[in-house]
Chains A and B, each alone.
Chain A
Amino acid sequence: MRLVAWVLGVWLATLTPPATRSPYADPWPSPSSLAARAGSPSLAGPWRAALDLAGGALPFTLELAKGRDRWTGALCNGRVCQPLSAVSVRADSVLLEIADYDATIQARLTGDSLAGVYRNVGNRGPRVIPFRATRGRWPVTHTPTWLAGRWDATFFSDFGSSPRVFELRDGPQGLEGTMISNTGDYGHFAGRVEGDSLTLAHFDGAFVYLLTGARHGDTLRGVFHAGLRTQTPWIAVRSTGAPHLKTPTEITSADTSAPFRFAFPDLDGRMVTERDPRFRGKVVLVDIFGSWCPTCHDAAPELVRLYRKYHDRGLEIVGLAYEVTGDTAIDARQVRRYRRKFGISFPLLLAGINDTEAAAATLPQLRGFTSFPTTVFLGRDGRVRRVHAGFYGPAMGAQHERMIREFEREVERLLAEGRS
């Protein structure tokens, strides 16, 4: 593979001397010369393409077509294709542009093969991955029943282990599916099965993902390749239906057996606790926030509105600020600015730094705290009634409105509890 890369490198060096034709600034500066030369071999049709990653080949399909006056093309992962923003053909060379990602594929046609490089203009240096293609399509292999379905996977890396879910099915072009993490999915993957081995790929011009693995008894084991070099081992077992991934609202709960305790200094250094007279017998919303947190800025005006609406009926709010520096003077200045910006009249306390683990340690009665803001609803007895992780801002439209109505209903219910 290194020999191939070297040959490719030498060949490319002769093709595009960097001093005169940089691949980054403007690969082919003269648009008038980009028309296909009469008589040159046609590139039109499907191409069985691959990126040569350090750990194996990432397969995808390249579709090229010649219209009346211009070329078009698409990158396809199975049945899901993404159009290229421009296709330029000059003699036996082709430049495919993926403008959204400032990425290109530059290749030369030799016989029925294309060879070249995929380039992505990165922030830390060029990302260059060898590219090759031959005419035709990847053979379709149907998905065996032992593989189709939902798998609970665990990824192992130097950063620790983390859960993923694979959803695999038999599509019109064979094996397809997606991979999901706690924060979302990775897009459409397509691939094939050979014996006990599977390969699934997703390449859209920016994200370079290859999932390889094999069946070992009732488990799947393999490697997830991201980009040219990153390789993460994984093991998967068939999903039992129990949740494998978690969302912040699912994992944040609280000890309800005793009143919720907190003790932090206010912005003038005075210690404030849940036992202060102002909270006694009141419904209390504990707002865990940070002045650095944009979602908290969305939540603050709503908390101020709730406070104005229900304070006379027995609602108190206290904000626990987890700030950036841990330096009291600097953090207090930031939180004062935040208080002034939103006209906050309820107390704001300096609770710690904005590290979720550190924050969780200061509030041991919360379980699985991961998200800023988190709103804790306390009944008049001081015990936790509800924990709401996150906040849908006004940009979320209907979801925002629904959440505000839920907050109001919850506050009214808790206020009524005290009277009964």
Chain B
Amino acid sequence: MSFRDISERKEAREQIEQLNRELEERVLERTEQLSLAIKELEAFSYSVSHDLRAPLRAIDGYTRILTEDYREVLDSEGVRLCGVIRDNTRNMGQLIDDLLSFSRLGRVGRGLWCNLLFLFAGCQKA
């Protein structure tokens, strides 16, 4: 009777070990997927910052040139309108910067999540 008890326990332990191995593999796989997603997000953030800033710089610059080179032609209302355009380009520039900061913040959060996953995988090994 006692022999059978031990072999059952042995079988159960092997099963647990097998499950642990599978879990570890799955954690590694998910971590890899997560790293890839983070890399894609970084590339996207860069592209956003680069591509959105360029036209904004042109709008701001050319509006400034208008007020510099055509000061005699523009009345005070014309100068005010140019000012409004430039205020808005600055706002949009700030929005792009904030968007990037936000995506970086997300990256830190995801980094924490990755660490937790690794910690979890480590506990399973111990």
- Is A bound to B? no
Chain B positions within 8 Å of A, measured between CB atoms, are: none
Chain A positions within 8 Å of B, measured between CB atoms, are: none
